[in-house]
Amino acid sequence: MVTIYDIAKKTGFSPTTVSKVFNGYSDVSQKTRRIIMDTAEELGYLPNAHARSLTTKRSWTIGILFIETSGVGLLHPYFGGVIEGFKKVATSKGYDLMFVSKDIGGKKSGYLEHCKIRGVDGVVIVLPDYTDPYFIELLESDIPCVLLDQESDSKSTVYSDNVAGSIEAIEYLYSLGHRDIAYINGGQTFAGEKRLQGYMQGMQKLGLPVLPQHIVQGSYDYTVESGRIAMEELLKLDTLPTAVFVAGDNFAIGAIGAIKAHGLSVPEDISAVGFDDIEMAKYVTPALTTVRQDTYVLGKRAADMLIYCIEGGSEIQQAVIPVELVIRDSCRPL
Amino acid sequence: MVTIYDIAKKTGFSPTTVSKVFNGYSDVSQKTRRIIMDTAEELGYLPNAHARSLTTKRSWTIGILFIETSGVGLLHPYFGGVIEGFKKVATSKGYDLMFVSKDIGGKKSGYLEHCKIRGVDGVVIVLPDYTDPYFIELLESDIPCVLLDQESDSKSTVYSDNVAGSIEAIEYLYSLGHRDIAYINGGQTFAGEKRLQGYMQGMQKLGLPVLPQHIVQGSYDYTVESGRIAMEELLKLDTLPTAVFVAGDNFAIGAIGAIKAHGLSVPEDISAVGFDDIEMAKYVTPALTTVRQDTYVLGKRAADMLIYCIEGGSEIQQAVIPVELVIRDSCRPL
DNA sequence: ATGAAAGCGCTAACAT
DNA sequence: ATGTTAGCGCTTTCAT
């Protein structure tokens, strides 16, 4: 392995000067700089990130933490988009991304421990189970963090405008003449709660009664199958709603499957609106009307905020990303 | 920050002894071990991974490299599954995962450079553009690697049994009475080529002619939209095939969309078989008959092989993971 | 403009 | 069973 000492020896300068060159210090002559750069090139020198981190206490690494309990992980389209966006800006600013789990070295530990041992400069937290004590511990630490789909006083957060999106969905259904609008929620998550809140606000705003039997809790995992199961609940009702607003496209697709399985059809018998606008949404039958959230932007914004924080920014920021209703074929006028 | 020196000072033992305790050396008395462990706990000691890596030349980090050109990245279900599986076993064996890009420190460099600078112990390479010179450079290096969906003499590889899967698909269509079977390929990838090969072998084996106009190249990205476009080609033919085998479920869903858009239906007019078995496959209409590949297993196997290699194994391994035809509703007997 | 010296936190030979 | 010494590759005062 070629080190700065090799370059120093070969050029006759000191390791200090060599180091200065690579760190862009101004107190090195142009000539010396050239010689050192050329020699580095010639010897195939590459810096050693570990050695650098050891002295500078900066790893240029960002930890990425996403929930592990559901088992779906990256398979959910939400994560993919967010991580892609995040990675894009983090990389361009010189950071690498590392997955952070509860375990390290094959042993149980905790997120905070993991972060400290690895010396990450900051952490993005995606869709966490916010009752997890290890998560709380991280939140209360002084490590720079940004939370997605989460609210917090101590850390910066970014999330989609779930409330507005839900209200828009309800208003759209209302405009089509629907009055009996059910809601399938996405488990006990921040986004789920906000969407539920939006549903209720929307209904109330329009003077529509919120019926308890019209609200069903889907499970946390946001899988198609869970959506199917949730819809089954609704289909047991004596008088069916004329529309369902579903807190996730996977869910919605499952729900539509359930409706079809009951010999009913969408949108003829029941109209449906989803949330997310996954790629598949426009290709399922009927093409899904849904609230689009821009996960890529979510990720990019999160990276901006985290890096701001890592680089000394002390202000706790909060970004709410607008969503947009995309009208397709899963709703009909009454 | 608490270091082993703090523990040494407090307990009266030397830093070496403390280090030995944490590294499980046997030449430390039980009593001493206890004292040191307790003190570590009490002081809240956490090891510093960078310092350790600096001396040991082992980072316990695995780089993960996946193609960046297509722009879909993690959004494709394939990646998600593979990475999940990989992460699962890597984590359990003490490794963390870090994304490796062509850039480092915000500057262009190359994969190999990035890996060396970060000191990763090995790299998983997922679906690369194998003409990329930076990729070649990595392949020819001495860094432990495992390749997914790839063939190589110098590195271990793991991939699904694309050929057998394709043959099975063709045989199934044949058994249903289909003779005019078209094929939509997935771009210039290893998997695409293998599936094409399987298609041709299957056709030949059954004595069916392979018509050039029945083979269309989809684009590299495996998106629904590309599948739609590819199918449009096929639909321009004077005599349409009675079935299409499509090298990816996203593709297949797009293709089915195109068929419907032409006023035809699946499977009544054209039968379709996909490849992947993504979650959505059973929820689209018609539910998609497809060749299931187990991306989770792919990932786990890859991790096993890479770690074997990292830990000194010199044998170059090759794993072919079986696939399975899943019959649903997108094909009909002729 | 350049360099000497010390130190980041840890481990590995090599004593004892 | 325990400790001494040196060193991993780099940066950072602080001199000169």
pLDDT confidence bin for B279, thresholds 50/70/90: confident
Q: Which nucleotide's C1' is closest to B7 (Cα)? A: C9
Does the bond joining B267 to the residue before it have cis omega, within 30 degrees of 0? yes
Q: What distance in Å separates residue B75's CA from the closest CA in chain A?
A: 5
- The residues that bridge with A65 in the sheet, in sequence order, are A125
B55 CB-near residues (< 8 Å, 6+ apart): none
**pLDDT tens by residue, A277-329:** 998 898 888 999 999 999 999 999 999 999 999 999 999 999 999 999 999 99
Report the distance separating Cα A243 and Cα A253, nearest Å: 14
Residues of chain B numbered 114-173 and touching chain A (CB < 8 Å): 116-119
pLDDT at B53: 98
pLDDT at A75: 62
pLDDT at A220: 75
Nearest residue of A to residue B227, measured between CA atoms: A283
Say yes or no for a CB contact (<8 Å) between A47 and B87: no
Provide the phi-psi class of B94: left if phi over 0, else alpha when psi is between -120 and 50, else beta: left
Q: Over 60: is that where the pLDDT of B70 sits?
A: no
Task: List CB contacts (< 8 A) between A74 and chain B.
Answer: 74, 79-80, 83-84
**B96 or B222, which is more confident:** B96
Say yes or no for a CB contact (<8 Å) between A279 and B54: no
Task: List CB contacts (< 8 A) between A105 and chain B.
Answer: 60, 94
| Contact criterion met (CB below 8 Å) for B153 and B316 | yes
Task: List CB contacts (< 8 A) between B224 and chain A.
Answer: 279-280, 283
Q: Which nucleotide's C1' is closest to A57 (Cα)? A: C8
Taking residues A17-23, report their average pLDDT.
Answer: 96
H-type helices in chain A, by residue range? 4-11, 15-22, 30-43, 49-56, 77-92, 111-118, 133-139, 162-175, 190-205, 224-235, 249-261, 295-310
pLDDT at A130: 76
pLDDT at B104: 84
Domains B4-56 and B61-159+295-322 equal at CATH topology level: no
Task: List CB contacts (< 8 A) between B117 and chain A.
Answer: 46-49
**Strand D contact set, beta carbon < 7 A:** A 1, 3-5, 15-16, 19-20, 22-23, 45-48, 51-52, 54-56; B 12-17, 20, 25-29, 31-32, 51, 54-55
For the domain made up of A4-56, give the CATH fold. Answer: 434 Repressor (Amino-terminal Domain) (1.10.260)
Residues of chain A numbered 176-205 and touching chain B (CB < 8 Å): none
Nearest residue of B to residue A118, measured between CA atoms: B49
Of B282, B134, B291, the C-alpha closest to B198 is B291
CATH hierarchy code of domain A61-159+295-322: 3.40.50.2300
Say yes or no for a CB contact (<8 Å) between B54 and A51: yes
| Contact criterion met (CB below 8 Å) for B281 and B274 | yes
Å between A41 CA and C2 C1'? 22
Q: What distance in Å separates residue B316's CA from the closest CA in chain A?
A: 25
Question: How many Cβ pairs closer than 8 A exist between chain A and B?
Answer: 143
The length of chain B, given as a count of residues: 334
**Dihedral in degrees, nearest 10, Cα atoms A170, A175, A178, A182:** 0
Å between A108 CA and D1 C1'? 30
Report the distance separating Cα A55 and Cα A35, nearest Å: 26
In b/e form, how buried is each residue of A20-38, taking b as 16+ CB within 10 angstroms? Answer: bbbeeeeebeeeebebbee
pTM as predicted = 0.94
* Whole-number average pLDDT of chain B: 93
pLDDT at A74: 62
| Contact criterion met (CB below 8 Å) for B262 and B236 | no
Say yes or no for a CB contact (<8 Å) between B54 and A60: no
Q: Which nucleotide's C1' is closest to B17 (Cα)? A: D2
Nearest protein residue by Cα to C1' of nucleotide C6: A55
**A215 or A75, which is more confident:** A215
The two three-digit tokens of residue B130, written as one number: 């194998």
Q: Over 90: is that where the pLDDT of A221 sits?
A: no
**pLDDT tens by residue, B286-297:** 999 999 999 999
Report the distance separating Cα A21 and Cα A23, nearest Å: 5
Report the distance separating Cα B237 and Cα B211, nearest Å: 12
What is the separation of C-alpha B235 from the centre of its chain, rounded to a whole number of angstroms? 32
**Dihedral in degrees, nearest 10, Cα atoms A331, A332, A333, A334:** -100
Report the distance separating Cα B254 and Cα A254, nearest Å: 19
SS3 B185: strand
Phi, psi of A330, rounded to the nearest 5 degrees:
-95, 10
H or E stretch at A181: strand A181-185
Report the distance separating Cα B313 and Cα B121, nearest Å: 13
A160 CB-near residues (< 8 Å, 6+ apart): A149, A191, A293, A294, A298, A320, A321, A322, A323
Report the distance separating Cα A21 and Cα A15, nearest Å: 10
Q: Over 90: is that where the pLDDT of B103 sits?
A: no
B302 CB-near residues (< 8 Å, 6+ apart): B82, B85, B86, B124, B146, B148, B158, B319
Report the distance separating Cα A258 and Cα A240, nearest Å: 13
Q: Over 60: is that where the pLDDT of A70 sits?
A: no
Taking residues B298-312, report their average pLDDT.
Answer: 97
pLDDT at B127: 72
Report the distance separating Cα A85 and Cα A300, nearest Å: 5
**A325 or B129, which is more confident:** A325
| Contact criterion met (CB below 8 Å) for A302 and A158 | yes
**pLDDT tens by residue, A2-15:** 999 999 999 999 99
pLDDT at B332: 98
What is the architecture of the domain spanning A162-293? 3-Layer(aba) Sandwich (3.40)
Å between B54 CA and C1 C1'? 31
Give me the numbers of helices (H) and strands (E) for chain A, helices first please. 12, 14
Taking residues B304-309, report their average pLDDT.
Answer: 98
CB atoms within 10 A of CB B314: 6
| Contact criterion met (CB below 8 Å) for B256 and B266 | yes
Taking residues B33-45, report their average pLDDT.
Answer: 96
Q: Maximum distance among all alpha carbons in chain B?
A: 89
Nearest residue of A to residue B118, measured between CA atoms: A49
pLDDT at A72: 60
Q: Testing the interface with A: which of B86, B118, B228 to mutate, by most A Cβ within 10 A?
A: B118
Q: What distance in Å separates residue B116's CA from the closest CA in chain A?
A: 7
Beta strands B103-104 and B107-108, pairing class: antiparallel
Taking each helix axis as running N to C, give the angle between helix B30-43 and helix B4-11, from 0 to 180 degrees, rounded to the nearest 10. Answer: 120
Residues of chain A numbered 205-244 and touching chain B (CB < 8 Å): 223-224
Nearest residue of B to residue A256, measured between CA atoms: B283
Report the distance separating Cα A86 and Cα A65, nearest Å: 12
Q: Over 70: is that where the pLDDT of A44 sits?
A: yes
pLDDT at B71: 58
Beta strands A145-148 and A156-160, pairing class: parallel
pLDDT at B221: 77
Alpha-carbon Rg for chain B in angstroms: 26
Residues of chain B numbered 300-329 and touching chain A (CB < 8 Å): none
pLDDT confidence bin for B73, thresholds 50/70/90: low
Q: Over 80: is that where the pLDDT of A68 sits?
A: no
**pLDDT tens by residue, B232-244:** 999 999 999 999 9
Residue B286 touches chain A, beta carbons under 8 Å:
no
Q: What distance in Å separates residue A235's CA from the closest CA in chain B?
A: 18
pLDDT at A69: 60
| Contact criterion met (CB below 8 Å) for A130 and A190 | yes
pLDDT at B72: 60
Output the CA–CA distances (angstroms, integers) from residue B327 to B168, B260, B281, B290, in the order listed.
Answer: 11, 21, 11, 7
Task: List CB contacts (< 8 A) between A281 and chain B.
Answer: none
Domain ranges within chain A, ordered by starting residue: 4-56, 61-159+295-322, 162-293
Q: Which nucleotides of C are covered by protein (CB under 7 A)?
A: 1-5, 7-13
Taking each helix axis as running N to C, give the angle between helix B295-310 and helix B77-92, from 0 to 180 degrees, rounded to the nearest 10. Answer: 40
Say yes or no for a CB contact (<8 Å) between B99 and A101: no
H-type helices in chain B, by residue range? 4-11, 15-22, 30-43, 49-56, 77-92, 111-118, 133-139, 162-175, 190-205, 224-235, 249-261, 295-310
Alpha-carbon Rg for chain A in angstroms: 26
Task: List CB contacts (< 8 A) between B51 and chain A.
Answer: 50, 54
Report the distance separating Cα B35 and Cα B17, nearest Å: 11
